[in-house]
């Protein structure tokens, strides 16, 4: 049963996402597209709403216009129900001309929102991960254990500890140490190979959080993982919530239990897409009992003229005309012409893959008109002269790198039906 506590959520959506460049050249990390029609931010927002947490502030900062437009179009909550909202909050600079200096500082700069809302509990969640989670189960654990702050955790290999906040716990799940991205760490209880890592999702008693934020400002600290939580270990009861115990209705037996991915790099972002493919995927996008909500879809149905398609996603408005798709992810309004071949690719909105073009292990960002007979992903030395290529060999083609050809492509035309997802007006940021 859901907790009766009054909950206010802050979603930290200001991430610059430098390791996802060039996908973050014109958009912030939470706004980066994922799968056929989602964006990364949709996962945390869906988890909160499915958990019956409807009062949500989204704190934004870097290159936020496309994220703001996505929230406006996709996450409008009814105005007739009290405390139902998803509201975007940019830096208010109420305490001086400063951008958010860290996650805790972002909440501190909006401390008036907590004081006016008067919640019992404040959830502070990241916006950068692919997962399903019933947040109410974590809140119930927080209340049951008498915690003042709780940290969602999961096991990670010891060699990965430098990428996460690492916690040590006692037999009652109480956190005895919290270190942000340590060079080495002790194994978690019952394991010799894994440590317990923070997922970047926190639950606070509201009064405790307010006290911690005021104290933080006095000491010049700015971040939850680096400063606030480590400093609270000795003075407050912090507990580790085991994400592995979280139960989601509608999860199939073949899915990876407690699936969670930090898609902060091109390699991890690319791999997570293919975890969603197939009849028995690691993470099934279509769970009607715990949906991941997506942006509104105004495009026509996809059309398959003919071709060969194996384990692929073909988004609405796409046209496949005599092409071969093998582990391909096509977002909205993609045209794949005759004899083109896509192998392990992500193709974003309004792109065209020309006749006879061969593309493998690549991400083609939106509004690209890949020329006929083009080769991408076959000669990585040559590819590196034009594109970013990861160490594992994934090629990333920036948005608009290949300009429209003289022959008409309706998806790249200013009169295209998918105009709502782009913005060519002078002086405005491209909505990606």
The answer for residues whose C-beta is within 8 angstroms of residue 279's C-beta and 6 or more apart is none
The answer for residues whose C-beta is within 8 angstroms of residue 390's C-beta and 6 or more apart is 265, 266, 267, 396
Give the residue from 125, 102, 117, 98 showing the smallest Cα distance to 11: 125
Is 181 within any annotated ligand binding site? yes
- The dihedral over CA atoms of 266, 268, 269, 274, expressed in degrees to the nearest 10, equals 130
Cβ of 389: how many Cβ atoms within 10 Å? 20
Q: Record the tokens describing residue 364, joined without a space.
A: 């083609």
Q: Are strands 7-12 and 121-126 parallel, antiparallel or unpaired?
A: parallel
Distance CA 86, CA 65 (A): 16
Distance CA 73, CA 296 (A): 7
Is 180 within any annotated ligand binding site? yes
Cα torsion 290, 160, 226, 173: sign: positive
Extended beta strands in 227-374, E state? 238-242, 260-262, 303-310, 313-314, 319-330, 335-336, 341-347, 352-353, 358-364, 369-370
Q: Are strands 33-34 and 38-39 parallel, antiparallel or unpaired?
A: antiparallel
Radius of gyration of the chain (CA): 22
The answer for residues whose C-beta is within 8 angstroms of residue 334's C-beta and 6 or more apart is 315, 317, 318, 319, 347, 348, 349, 350, 351, 352, 353, 411
Q: Record the tokens describing residue 344, joined without a space.
A: 């392990």
Distance CA 102, CA 107 (A): 9
Binding site feature residues: 165, 180-181, 198
Binding residues for alpha-D-glucose 1-phosphate, by number, are 165, 180-181, 198
């Amino acid at each position: 049963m859901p907790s009766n506590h009054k909950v206010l959520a802050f979603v930290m959506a200001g991430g610059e996402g430098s390791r996802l460049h060039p996908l973050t050249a014109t958009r912030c990390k939470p706004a980066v597209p994922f799968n056929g029609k989602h964006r990364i931010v949709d996962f945390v927002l869906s988890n909160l709403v499915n958990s019956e947490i409807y009062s949500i502030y989204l704190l934004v900062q870097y290159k936020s216009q496309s994220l703001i437009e996505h929230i406006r179009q996709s996450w409008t909550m009814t105005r007739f129900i009290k405390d139902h909202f998803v509201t975007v909050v940019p830096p208010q600079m109420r305490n001086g001309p400063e951008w958010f200096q860290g996650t805790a500082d972002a909440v501190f700069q909006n401390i008036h929102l907590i004081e006016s809302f008067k919640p019992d509990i404040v959830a502070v969640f990241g916006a950068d991960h692919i997962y399903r989670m019933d947040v109410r189960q974590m809140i119930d654990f927080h209340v049951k254990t008498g915690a003042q702050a709780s940290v969602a955790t999961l096991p990670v290999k010891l060699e990965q500890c430098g990428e996460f906040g690492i916690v040590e716990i006692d037999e009652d799940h109480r956190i005895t140490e919290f270190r942000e991205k340590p060079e080495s760490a002790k194994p978690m209880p019952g394991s010799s190979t894994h440590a317990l890592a923070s997922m970047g999702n926190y639950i606070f008693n509201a009064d405790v959080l307010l006290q911690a934020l005021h104290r933080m400002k006095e000491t010049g600290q700015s971040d939850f993982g680096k400063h606030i939580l480590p400093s609270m270990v000795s003075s407050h009861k912090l507990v580790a919530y085991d994400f592995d115990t979280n139960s989601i209705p509608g999860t199939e037996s073949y899915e990876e239990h407690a699936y969670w991915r930090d898609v902060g790099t091109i390699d991890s972002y690319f791999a997570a897409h293919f975890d969603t493919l197939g009849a028995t995927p690691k993470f099934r996008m279509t769970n009607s009992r715990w949906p991941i909500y997506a942006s509104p879809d105004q495009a026509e149905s996809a059309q398959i003229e003919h071709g060969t398609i194996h384990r692929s996603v073909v988004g609405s408005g796409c046209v496949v005309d005599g092409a071969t798709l093998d582990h391909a992810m096509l977002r909205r309004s993609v045209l794949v012409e005759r004899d083109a071949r896509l192998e392990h690719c992500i193709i974003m909105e309004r792109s065209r893959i020309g006749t006879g073009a061969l593309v493998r292990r690549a991400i083609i960002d939106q509004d690209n008109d890949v020329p006929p007979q083009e080769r991408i992903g076959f000669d990585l030395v040559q590819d590196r002269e034009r594109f970013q290529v990861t160490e594992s060999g994934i090629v990333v083609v920036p948005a608009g790198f290949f300009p429209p050809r003289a022959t008409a492509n309706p998806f790249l035309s200013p009169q295209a039906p998918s105009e709502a997802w782009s913005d060519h007006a002078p002086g405005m940021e491209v909505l990606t």
